[in-house]
Structure 1
């Protein structure tokens, strides 16, 4: 099942093959913050900033979640090389 990033119930990212792929995208975009521990989980945990959510989504016609992931991975690699 594909997943995407949403804000106020509006899909704001492309569809990706897994929830973890969208977490990586959100992290690279600066949307992930560490929250303090709570009673259920010790240690810091990651949460999305503001009203962002990661939810299952429908794939738009002609969209390929695997291709979206490959493009995002390629872009991330290029950015790492430029920042080195």
Structure 2
């Protein structure tokens, strides 16, 4: 089952093969923040900012989640990284 990034019920991203693929895209886009709870003080855990969610979804007609992943990886390699 493919996954995508959602805000409320609106699908914000293309469909990707795995949930991990969408997490990677969200992190690259600056949508992931690290949060610490009282129980997890030693290791913060990543969460999506602004109530975004990653959910299973159906791809759009003629959409190929594997191609979306390959395209995103190619774009990430071509973009300059800011430190």
TM exceeds 0.5?
A: yes
Q: Deviations over 1:16-67 (max 9, x none)?
A: 0000000010001100000014427851000000110000001110000000
Aligned-partner SS, 2:77: helix
**Closer/same/farther in 2, CA of residues 38 and 59 from structure 1, 3 Å limit:** farther
Aligned partner of 2:30 in structure 1 is 30
1:56-67 matches, within 5 Å, as 56-67=56-67
- TM-score normalised by structure 2 residue count: 0.90
Aligned-partner SS, 1:61: coil
CA contact (8 A) 1:19 1:54 kept: yes
**How many Å separate the matches in 2 of 1:45 and 1:25?**
17
Report the alpha carbon displacement of residue 15 of structure 1 after superposing the two structures with TM.
0.1
CA RMSD of aligned residues (A): 1.7
Aligned-partner SS, 1:54: strand
1:40-55 matches, within 5 Å, as 42-55=42-55
Unaligned runs of 5+ in 2: none
Is 1:69–2:69 an aligned residue pair? yes
